[in-house]
Amino acid sequence: MTENSLRLEGQVALVTGGARGIGRAIATRLAQGGAKVGIVDLAEAGAGTAQEIAEATGVATTFFKADISKEAEAKAAVAAVEEALGPVDILVNNAGITRDGLILVMDEAAWDAVLAVNLKGAFLMSKAVLRGMVRRRHGSIVSISSVVARRGNAGQVNYSAAKAGLIGLTKSLAREVASRNIRVNAVAPGYIETEMTAALDEKARNALINQIPLGQIGSPQQVAEVVAFLASQEASYITGAVVPVDGGLGI
């Protein structure tokens, strides 16, 4: 499949947490497919990312700084992206954080922060784009869950609960808005090459790789390809799906 074979031209995509990592790869891939891209991120670095994507792909991009776990900021972010680029057709709920720790040392703040960004943020952003999508009878939402939603992970009760919650949100919302021609899906990445995995020593890295049937850590681009597909018209008969991108880790 060539980069531009996905039908994304003329679409407006909003990617939360698009400043770096997987979100950046998703924003870039959507732009390569011809979509205009709005990056919404807490980090100011999102402005530079948006500019680099515009220069590399020639599509219009914009950046809005917001904390998507706050309703007023989520609403303002959608309004700002729509003002700059037009009505949002595609929302990617990618912003996420971790505050790991075994439950006996995990404090309430670590639980609340992870649930607020990973789960409530997706609820608030989805709600903020949906009024327009329902009116236009058109839209696609893709949320980034994780393999730990189904498998669990010691030290991540907050994160895996939030990521499992995203799957429930995805399936319920898919049922709510299907009659309005809006699709809602999720991807569940496994271990993806980020600063976190790059920092592992060779022994820890090999132990990780040994658990993965395909025998390698994934790349942000491999996640971005699946997100772009689910967001596009090529996936017009797919809703309520949770697609693993994990090298078989979740089998």
Would you tell me which residues interact with ligand NAD (CB under 6 A)? Answer: 16-17, 19-23, 41-43, 67-69, 94-97, 117, 121, 144, 146, 189, 191-192, 194
Residue 48 near residue 73 (C-beta atoms within 8 A): no
- Nearer to ligand NAD by Cβ, of 47 and 134: the residue is 47
Q: How far is the CB of 92 from ligand NAD (least distance, A)?
A: 10
Q: How far is the CB of 125 from ligand NAD (least distance, A)?
A: 9
Catalytic residue among 64, 159, 191, 229: 159
Tokens matching residue 29: 């891939």
- Nearer to ligand NAD by Cβ, of 19 and 30: the residue is 19
Q: Find, among 157, 171, 4, 40, the residue nearest to 50 by Cα.
A: 40
Q: How far is the CB of 9 from ligand NAD (least distance, A)?
A: 26
Q: How far is the CB of 68 from ligand NAD (least distance, A)?
A: 4
Active-site annotation holds for 191: no
Distance CA 145, CA 118 (A): 9
CA angle 24, 30, 35 (to 5 degrees): 125
For helices 121-136 and 71-85, the axis angle rounded to 10 degrees is 40
Give the DSSP per-residue string, 16-67: ETTTSHHHHHHHHHHHHTT-EEEEEESSTHHHHHHHHHHHHH---EEEEE--
- Nearer to ligand NAD by Cβ, of 4 and 26: the residue is 26
- Nearer to ligand NAD by Cβ, of 11 and 93: the residue is 93
Which residues are part of the catalytic machinery?
A: 159
